[in-house]
Structure 1
Amino acid sequence: MEQKLYKTVNSAGISSIVTGIIAVVAGLACVAGGILALIQGGRLLGARKNILF
């Protein structure tokens, strides 16, 4: 169960970072959303070590 949660957080963080990169590259209208997605993805990946079971 713990490993499943860890993998879910990991994949959510990675997909958020990828979405942010695509949004930033796509155009200036999406830069703010892309930056927010990058920040949230980084926070998710950084918070993996704080998961308590």
Structure 2
Amino acid sequence: MEKVYKTMKSVGAFNVVMGILMIVSGICFGVAVIVKGAKLLKHRSDLIF
């Protein structure tokens, strides 16, 4: 019975770590997209289609 609890504990810890990593990476990608969008808006007069 103790083996089951150890397995559940390790899986739970892994899920928490993966959740934190996904949140951090999502914030980083979001900031990068906003910065690139702002750069495009700043230079929109230079863009020719």
- Greater relative contact order structure (CA < 8 Å, 6+ sep): 1
Q: Answer with 1 or 2: which has the greater Rg.
A: 2
Gaps of 5+ in 2: 1-14, 43-49
Gaps of 5+ in 1: 29-53
Residue deviations 1:2-41 (CA, integer Å, cap 9, x gap):
000000000000000000000000015xxxxxxxxxxxxx
Letter in 1 for 2:37: A
After superposition, the CA RMSD in angstroms is: 0.9
In structure 1, the partner of 2:21 is 7
- Taking structure 2 as the reference length, the TM-score comes to 0.54
Residue correspondences, number: 28
1:1-53 equivalence runs, <5 A: 1-28=15-42
Q: Which runs of 4+ in 1 moved over 4 A?
A: none
